[in-house]
Structure 1
Amino acid sequence: MHPMNKFFIILKHTYFSQLKSKSFIIMTVISLIFIVGLANIQNIVELFTGDDRTEQLAVIDETGEIAAPLINTMESLDEDLELKLFEGSLDEGKELVQSGDYLALITIETDEEMLPKASYYALDLSNNRITNQLEQALSQIKTGIITEQEGLDQEVINKMFTPVPIERIALKENAKTEEELNQARGLVYFMIFLIYFAVIMYGSMIANQVAIEKSSRVMEIIVSSVSPITQMFAKITGVALLGLTQFGLIIITGYLSLKMNQSEMVGGFFEYFGFGDIPVATIIYGVVFFILGYLLYAMLAAMLGSLVTRIEDAQQVITPMIMLIVAAFMIAVFGLNEPDSSFVVATSFIPFFTPIIMFVRVGMLDIPLWEVALSIGLLMATIFFFAWIGARVYKGGVLMYGRSTSLKDLKKALQMSKKDV
């Protein structure tokens, strides 16, 4: 049989055996549910809250003057809150909170300087949102009282506390604006997560598959008819196609969910992590670095997985590889805020970090083309090196049996690869 036919047979077996596995189906379904839920988080929150009376707060005003401005300010800060002036006693108010008629009870009084102070009674103190809004509203009222007591002009006070606007202007030619950075940040953040999880999930899958086949002695049968090098590249390609299938479903589901809820995704998180008008070059770089990053770590995973015969050992032997991608991810998160720092620049040229960190730089900055070309060149050279050394280690490693969790076994695998198989 032609070697390419054997390659596609193993590729097909790897792809469909994992595609039909319960773990893959369950993980994919959970991921899709999570994506849909995240895109519809606002609707889900409203579904559970609705017009429930738990957002009603009772207010006891012992001053007789502060309740009205407090209610107006609190309700303007959060339209879901409804504050009502309560005429009963403190004990009666507490009982209504305990019975669930009110979410909380607020009592207002003044101190010796005739400035407002308040007490907040609730079943538990986990809801910091309301207490923070209460503090903000009372601070505004307190400022107004002090202004009136001292005979100060309220407009002057407002001007004093108005934040100073800062216009950020880049002097470097072709530097990205704040809006462009926000637009790129979302894709960059998404891509570094994608590469991070792809390496961990599918790298482990490759190593585990090799270990499972060796533990069942299936490898001896395969080796007798198929070249170990053909096996390695067929498995890497099969798992890559599996990953594309899973991430393709996730991306399509996420895109459709975002489109359906686009009108509600404004401000806050969605303003900081924008997804609109993303340059085509950034998307192309994302695809390129994703593929190259996968290939690099897939080679390592297959090579390391061939050294062991048990899944438990496979997880242990690929730990250094996992640590590399974790380190790259942590540096990338730092680089989102400081992509031009010398540390980020230096690490972006280290092949094990390049797929994530260099993508952060090309997404957030306008860097010279030669830097991108150099990093890609170094990364591809490293991939070819590990493909060569990995194929030799794989060739000898698949014939090694017994407990083996030490990287010193690489030498033994290389020696065995010189023998005819």
Structure 2
Amino acid sequence: MTDFSVKKVWIIAKREYLERVSTRSFLLSTFVTPLLMGAFLVLPTVISESAARNIMRDSERPARVVIASDNRALAELVSGELIRQKGARYEPSVVSPTSTGERERLDKQLNDSDIEGYVWLDGPAIASRQVVFSTRRISDFILQHRLSDALSYAFAAQRMVQQGNSAGDVAATLEPVTLTAVRAGNTSAMYNELRGAIVVFILMFVMLFSLLSYGVMVMRSVMEEKSSRITEVLMCAASAPELMSGKILGTGSVGLTQIGVWLSLAGFGASRSLFLRTTMAALDVGPSLIIYFVIFYTLGYLLYSAIFAGVGAIFNSIDEAQQWNFVVILPLIGASAMILPVATSSDSMVSVAASLFPFCSPILMFERLAVHNPPLWQVALSLILLIATIGGTMFVSARIYRTGILMYGKRPTIREVSRWLLQA
């Protein structure tokens, strides 16, 4: 049976596809995984908003903060700056001078929840610039940040006054600067690096998840049919390359179906959620980027699933083959370690070489496309090398598959596998 039949490959792929998509595990992973990811993304925001609402309910009036200091002028500067800050909901008051009895009184007010907290600015604190803020809510980082800014302003203003500057000069010099962030466009280096890192991280997650699930699924399917001797029956109707190609295409179609469902859910969520719409617009996830994602994901899957199929044909049990999983995905782990260097220096010699290396190009070339547009010849060369490597891997795996799928009993050595390649 030397002729390669596309019709037989289609029948095998169709059987594999329908068998996989009808399982409960596929339905759960396809629809429950996005819900869990959405929950992990939304829950922190919901908890934060709930905490903020609780704080607002706990205190309908502005929170009372006491500035206790031996230097009343300094305390007044801190109080005034705290009131002047935009969005402040605090009611500062000044206590001067400080004393042991005054601190005990403030501690009692704090324990009775009459005040939110107090800043203790005695002589040693002013001299060392190490200020202590006693508060009921140690997690209220907003108040602590505002107090830190107010203290820094007050110390600087008093020092400038002592050096002979007028109050107007001090106010003008310490006037805060308003910073407005605007998007500069796709040529902005920082924006592109951020987009590349985020988008490639998503690709990495999907790629590794698919490889560990569907690549291993191909390997398990091969090993199950090998151990149950079903392959001997199947090979009466189809050749080994046809069986292997059908398994890879059928299982890969399941992965593409799952990703298609996820993208559809993401698109539906973006149409309903302003937050998701804004995020996708900020990341500039357009049709071209999605097309590149599908291309590199598909080619990456074909490459690694062919390797997994060959590994499954070699070994007799899952335990024997399991240790090779790490070896198979080792190039992807190396590519993940190159994400930040490639994002920050996309045109360097190392980045270009790594993105052209077929076993890393599904991630790294896609990252370079997400960061900025590399030369067209590099993209074309990467695709050519990747497709050629897929063809070579398919050829080698098919020869291993043809002999290994019918070998039972013992784990083959490297010399025996080499003989299979020559004699198949």
Question: TM-score under structure 2 normalisation?
Answer: 0.77
Aligned to 2:79: 68
Deviates more, 1:39-48 or 1:387-396: 39-48
**Match of residue 221 from structure 1:** 233
In structure 2, the partner of 1:298 is: 305
Q: CA deviation at 1:162?
A: 5.9
TM-aligned CA distance change 1:263 to 1:203, over 3 Å: closer
TM-score under structure 1 length normalisation: 0.77
- How far does residue 237 in structure 1 lie from its aligned partner after superposition? 0.9
Give, as a single letter, the amino acid of the residue that structure 2 aligns with 1:222.
Answer: L
Q: Give the counterpart letter for 2:65 in structure 1.
A: V
* Aligned-partner Cα distance in 2 for 1:406–1:59: 76
| Residues 364 and 222 (structure 1), Cα distance of their counterparts in 2 relative to 1, 3 Å cut | same
Instruction: Output aligned runs, 1:12-411, within 5 Å.
Output: 12-37=14-39, 40=42, 44-45=46-47, 48-49=50-51, 51-53=53-55, 59-63=65-69, 65=76, 68-69=79-80, 71-72=82-83, 76=87, 83=90, 89-92=105-108, 95=111, 105-112=117-124, 113=126, 117-121=131-135, 131-132=144-145, 134-152=147-165, 153-154=169-170, 157-158=173-174, 176-178=187-189, 181=192, 185=196, 187-262=199-274, 270=279, 274-276=282-284, 278=286, 280-402=287-409, 404=411, 410-411=417-418
Report Cα offsets for 1:354-378 as digits up to 9, x if no partner: 1211122233233322222112111
Once the 2 structures are TM-superposed, how far is the Cα of residue 414 of structure 1 from its aligned partner?
A: 3.1
| Structure 2: distance between partners of 1:13 and 1:262 | 41
Q: CA shift at 1:349, angstroms?
A: 1.4
Q: Partner of 1:306: helix, strand, or coil?
A: helix
Residues 328/263 of structure 1: CA separation in 2 closer, same or farther (3 Å cut): closer
Question: Partners of 1:402 and 1:25 in 2: how far apart?
Answer: 36
Gaps of 5+ in 2: 70-74, 96-103
Give me the whole-angstrom Cα distance separating, in 1, the residues matched to 2:195 and 2:274.
17
Q: Structure 2 CA distance, aligned partners of 1:122 and 1:220?
A: 74
Q: Structure 1 140/377 Cα, relative in aligned 2: closer, same or farther at 3 Å?
A: same
Q: Structure 1 unaligned runs (5+)?
A: none
Query: What is the aligned-residue RMSD (CA, Å)?
Result: 4.2
Deviation at 1:329, TM superposition (A): 2.0
Partner SS, residue 120 of structure 2: strand
Aligned-pair distance for 1:90? 4.3
Write the letter of the residue equivalent to 1:117: V
**Contact 2:16 2:250 (C-alpha < 8 Å) held by counterparts:** yes
2:192 aligned partner, one-letter code: L
CA distance in 1, matches of 2:382, 2:276: 39
Q: Does the residue aligned with 1:62 lie in a helix, a strand or coil?
A: strand
**Contact 1:207 1:305 survives alignment (8 Å):** yes
Residue 180 of structure 1: CA displacement? 7.4
Given that residues 75 and 83 in structure 1 are in contact (C-alpha distance below 8 angstroms), is that contact kept between their aligned partners in structure 2?
no
Asked whether the 8 Å contact 2:78–2:153 carries over to 1, the reply is no
The alpha carbon displacement at 1:52 in A equals: 0.5
String of CA shifts for 1:183-215, please: whole Å, max 9, x gaps: 963545533443343333322222222223333
One-letter amino acid matched to 2:282: G
Percent identity reads 25
**Deviation of the 1:50 alpha carbon:** 5.3
The SS at the match of 1:59 is: strand
- Matches of 2:164 and 2:415 in 1, distance apart? 81
Larger Rg: 2
